Structure 1
Amino acid sequence: MDPISLLEQEQLAQLAKFRRIATGLLLLMAIVFVVTRRFELAYPWLALVRAFAEAAMVGALADWFAVTALFKHPLGLPIPHTAIIRRNKDRIGVSIANFLEHNFMTREVISEELREVDFAAALASWLESPGNGRRLAQQLAGTVPALLRMVEDKDVGHFLQQRAAAALQDVRFAPLLGELLALLKAGGQHQRVFDHVIELAADALERNRPYIRQKIHDKSPRWLPKSIDEKFFERLLEELNNILDEMREEDSEWRGRFEFAAENFIDNLKTSPEYEARLARMIHNTMAQEEFRGYVTQVWRDIKARLLRDVRAEDSKAVGRLEQALVALARALEQDRAVSAKLNQWLRGFATETIVHRRGEIAQLVERVIRKWDGETIARKIELHVGKDLQYIRINGTLVGGMVGLLLHLAAQALT
């Protein structure tokens, strides 16, 4: 049985108990009235008790009628202006919704109520409790497979391609590349590239000596002695290595030419419309190819497969990193009051603005729910919540009515 049903059962039991008390008090006053009326002539002082009981019955009956008329027709009789809640449930729903909207869900009320709430401390304390960070990380990671299954690979590939094309449409690639190369050049990275190319060339010469010797021999005339071919080969490699050694020197002419070519290329990237158009066309053509879409789709599939394998593993790296991030967040919130204050301010502002902005919708929800209830249901729900207090009205009406009747009886005796 759910908690709401248990609560209603408890409320119903309390309502029945106090209803029996109020009704029993009315019956007691009726018995007292009959008995005192019967023996009043023999015992004149019983007139005071009779007056009390008589007025108490009137008060009890009047309050019984008033309380009953709120929820149903007294004795089942369709008396006008009874069963008030049942007949006016829609108007009551509108009134409750308006009352909530304009008295509870105002910016002033919500801001005041949230001012002392320390969301950051509560979050930090919860995350630092044993196991909470791990469980939250597992729940967050557990949503990944469901989200991934919702998305088709082809759709993702097409979407990523479209988004990339839209995002890159207005980007000026040539100046951007020029600035990047200028930054690398300022750090001397272009010279490292130059040195690396020299070393690659030297290594290629050394590794391909037999191939070069064979090519020289194949292209030489048949009548030329092999010894001359061999000397030509050795001289050629020697000169090539000399050139490479010369290029390695810091102040070599080759290095100066490369420096000039790099500066000229960077300047053209930054300023030349032709370079810009050529580079943009190359990127556009690449992204328009079906092979590129297939490559993007395959990359997405690889990422998806790795994510799925990881989040399902017992020692999931994603869960571990999420847990570390959550614990680090908790510690930061505890140690850095400025961060905590900013988080609290943001959460309070977000909650306040969200509720205030949506208060009309919340009020309409209350109104719609009440409108969907039938009259008997809403009358029963309200009676369960306030019925016990209304039975106190019946009890008080009985006692107060009796006291008033007694005072009126004494006043009448004094005037006669």
Structure 2
Amino acid sequence: MATSLLAAMIVLLIICVAWQAQHPWLAWPRAFAEAATVGAIADWYAVVALFRHPCGIPIPHTAIIRKNQQRIAESLGSFVEENFLTPEVIIARLSGFNAAHALAEWLAARENSAMIADVVAGSLPRLLDNIDETDVEHLFDRLVIPRLRTLNVSRMAAQILTLLTEGNRHQPLLDRGLSAAETWLSNNVGLIKAKFSEASKFTLSTLDAYIVNKFVEGIVALMHEVVADPEHELRRRFDVAVQDLSSELRTSAVYRRFGRLLLRDCIRHLQGSGYYRVMLDHLRAYVLADLDSEDSVVRDMLTGTLVSVGKGVASEPSIQHKLNAWWLDVAGLLVRRHRHQLSALITDVVKGWDAKQVSHKLEAEIGRDLQYIRINGTFVGGTVGVLIHACVLLAMR
């Protein structure tokens, strides 16, 4: 359209020049056609010079985009870094969005969590196939075993005992122990009688049986008393014994040394018995069998965990606030650290494009608007030409 308009202005100019002598009023359309032609040609040159050489002639300062691709790439990267990849812009954009709540509600929908669980579970067989015994051994030797060697087993045992004794949590264990001891005594009365008879060779067997029966009955009765009485003396003695043991586990050098020896033997067993391969084989077999089943425990566990996390976060605005604050801090930190790398990536990508292809793509994207510039330039030029002609006539009068 723009080129046709230029051709029309040239034709109009030729007609006006040819017939102006017979028709003086053609001076006005001639002035319009002359200026419009000049404006159209000038704008055509300007538009074409952006993308290629006009008419294929390598005129200086033409094919601007193609020749300046490297500089444009660097300018584009710098522009994005300075105007978009700034902590203020990123944080201001993200701060108005409750990302934690949106993500939590999305995870709370079981089908969404199941989708993530399927992706994770589907990647496990490939992950396990790529792991061999050497990888597991390396992991344990570099991460697990050095930490095991630093453990204070006796102190850890003392902490476990302290945790058990808080709030009398150990009393049900004592009750279970007394019940198990009573069952053992009742089931092994004959064995006890036999051992008692072996140790007491000069007494009658009936007397041995009587003594053993009375002994067992007395022990069982004592156990029943302890179970029935929360304040029984034996319970208090048991509490004192547990507390003493916990204190000794914390302070005793003997227990510390015993814990180190026990831990050393465990590490030797772990390193020397092919445990890595056995553990990896068992884990791989269990996971593969589970994932092949319709009711996969791994998938259900992953799905349930994600759903629980989503519901928990969605119902706790305080947690959402903390997560959003953390997310904004992370985003700001990432932008500060890596904004230059992101702009460099943009620069490198643009530099790697084919210059001619980039020029053609840009021309295809914005060429239509540039053609309207040519059209407007034609009419603006023509209008200015008429005004100049009118001013000349007025000045001559």
- TM-score bracket, normalised by the shorter chain, equals 0.7 to 0.9
Please report how far the alpha carbon of residue 369 of structure 1 lies from its aligned counterpart in structure 2 after TM superposition.
Answer: 1.3
Name the CA shift for 1:293/1:88 in 2 (closer, same or farther; >3 Å): farther
2:96 corresponds in structure 1 to: 116
1:334-358, CA deviations, whole angstroms, 9 ceiling, x for partnerless residues?
A: 5544444444444344334333432
Name the CA shift for 1:367/1:262 in 2 (closer, same or farther; >3 Å): closer
1:23-62, CA deviations, whole angstroms, 9 ceiling, x for partnerless residues?
A: 1111010111111111111111111101111111111111
Name the CA shift for 1:125/1:388 in 2 (closer, same or farther; >3 Å): farther
2:294 corresponds in structure 1 to: 314
2:6 and 2:40 in contact (8 A); partners too: yes
Identity of aligned residues (%): 34
- Does residue 365 of the first structure (1) align with residue 341 of the second (2)? no
1:167 corresponds in structure 2 to: 147
1:254-296, CA deviations, whole angstroms, 9 ceiling, x for partnerless residues?
A: 7787666544433321212232122122112221224776456
1:220 and 1:229 in contact (8 A); partners too: no
1:17 corresponds in structure 2 to: none
1:17-416 matched pairs, under 5 angstroms: 21-120=1-100, 122-123=102-103, 126=106, 131-153=111-133, 155-156=135-136, 159-160=139-140, 162-185=142-165, 187-188=167-168, 199-211=179-191, 228-239=204-215, 241-242=217-218, 245=221, 250=226, 261-290=241-270, 294-295=274-275, 298-332=278-312, 335-416=315-396
2:100 and 2:323 in contact (8 A); partners too: yes
For 1:402, give the aligned amino acid: G
Please report how far the alpha carbon of residue 123 of structure 1 lies from its aligned counterpart in structure 2 after TM superposition.
Answer: 3.6
SS of the aligned residue for 2:24 comes to coil
Name the CA shift for 1:130/1:275 in 2 (closer, same or farther; >3 Å): closer
1:15 corresponds in structure 2 to: none
1:124 and 1:331 in contact (8 A); partners too: yes
Name the CA shift for 1:337/1:259 in 2 (closer, same or farther; >3 Å): closer
Q: Which runs of 5+ in 1 are unaligned?
A: 1-20
1:211-235, CA deviations, whole angstroms, 9 ceiling, x for partnerless residues?
A: 45556777887xx8xx923433443
C-alpha separation in 2, matches of 1:411 and 1:310: 93
Give the superposed CA RMSD.
3.5
Q: TM-score under structure 1 normalisation? A: 0.80
For 1:231, give the aligned amino acid: L
SS of the aligned residue for 1:49 comes to helix
Name the CA shift for 1:108/1:160 in 2 (closer, same or farther; >3 Å): same
1:246 and 1:252 in contact (8 A); partners too: no
1:161 and 1:293 in contact (8 A); partners too: no
Please report how far the alpha carbon of residue 297 of structure 1 lies from its aligned counterpart in structure 2 after TM superposition.
Answer: 5.0
Count of residues paired in the alignment? 392
Name the CA shift for 1:338/1:211 in 2 (closer, same or farther; >3 Å): closer
1:97-135, CA deviations, whole angstroms, 9 ceiling, x for partnerless residues?
A: 111111121122222322333434544565577944433
SS of the aligned residue for 1:61 comes to helix
C-alpha separation in 1, matches of 2:140 and 2:301: 26
Q: Which runs of 5+ in 2 are unaligned?
A: none
Q: TM-score under structure 2 normalisation? A: 0.83
My pick for the range that moved more, 144-153 or 335-344, is 335-344
Name the CA shift for 1:233/1:326 in 2 (closer, same or farther; >3 Å): closer
For 1:142, give the aligned amino acid: G
For 2:339, give the aligned amino acid: R
Name the CA shift for 1:389/1:122 in 2 (closer, same or farther; >3 Å): farther
My pick for the range that moved more, 301-310 or 56-65, is 301-310
